[in-house]
């Protein structure tokens, strides 16, 4: 396991809400993928059934936070300032993946875009873009 993967596992382990979601991460080179294994309690619409939109948003937000924490030297976890979520397809009862792209990092604010998908990367189920407040490490 690489040092970065170990760091990520440690961060995920420390965040109770990440464990509540049951979220994992996979790291291939410098590319991180958030993984949200399907679980019945993530369902928001039991009829279809479909994953809860809030859960998909929360998962993408967490993926953005993790991507920032491995890309930047930060003193503490970034905090979301605002997020905008587009829902493109209903989330089927299966595993969901997400990848975050950091579009710009300023002194205090980072702009991040995230896409979530299930069966096909080319058919995303949701997208998020947001701003996050950073507290850089001194020196």
Partner 1 sequence: MTEESLAERIMSLSPQSRALGLQLVSTAPEVVLRIPYRSDLVGEPDTGVLAGGVVTTLLDMACGWATVAALETPTSIATLDLRIDYMRPAEPGRDILASARCYKLTRSIAFVRALAYDQSPEDPVAAAQAAFMLDSNAGRGPGANLAPPPPRRKRT
> Which residues are at the interface with partner 1 (CB under 8 A)?
14-17, 19-21, 40-50, 52-55, 57-59, 61-62, 76-77, 79-87, 89-90, 92-93, 119-120, 122-123
- Nearest residue to 115 via CA among 99, 130, 132, 102: 99
**C-beta of 46: minimal distance to partner 1 in Å?**
6
* CB nearer to partner 1: pick between 99 and 124: 124
> Which residue's CB is nearer to partner 1, number 2 or number 123?
123
What's 99's DSSP letter?
E
Helix (H, G, I), strand (E, B) or coil at 135: strand
**Smallest distance, partner 1 to C-beta of residue 7, A:** 15
- Classify residue 30 as left (phi > 0), alpha (psi -120 to 50) or beta: alpha
Nearer Cβ to partner 1 (32/66): 66
Packing angle, helices 3-14 and 53-71, rounded to 10: 130
Choose between 2 and 37: whose C-beta lies nearer to partner 1: 37
């Amino acid at each position: 396991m690489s040092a970065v993967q170990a760091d990520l596992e440690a961060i995920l382990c420390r965040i109770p809400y990440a464990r509540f979601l049951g979220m994992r991460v996979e790291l291939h080179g410098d590319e991180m993928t958030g993984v949200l294994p399907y679980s019945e309690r993530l369902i928001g619409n039991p009829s279809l059934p479909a994953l809860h939109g809030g859960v998909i948003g929360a998962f993408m937000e967490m993926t953005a936070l993790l991507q920032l924490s491995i890309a930047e030297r930060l003193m503490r976890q970034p905090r979301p300032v605002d997020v905008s979520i587009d829902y493109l397809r209903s989330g089927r009862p299966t595993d969901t993946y997400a990848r975050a792209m950091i579009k710009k990092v300023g002194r205090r604010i980072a702009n991040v875009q995230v896409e979530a998908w299930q069966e096909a990367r080319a058919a995303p189920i949701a997208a998020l873009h947001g701003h996050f407040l950073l507290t850089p490490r001194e020196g």
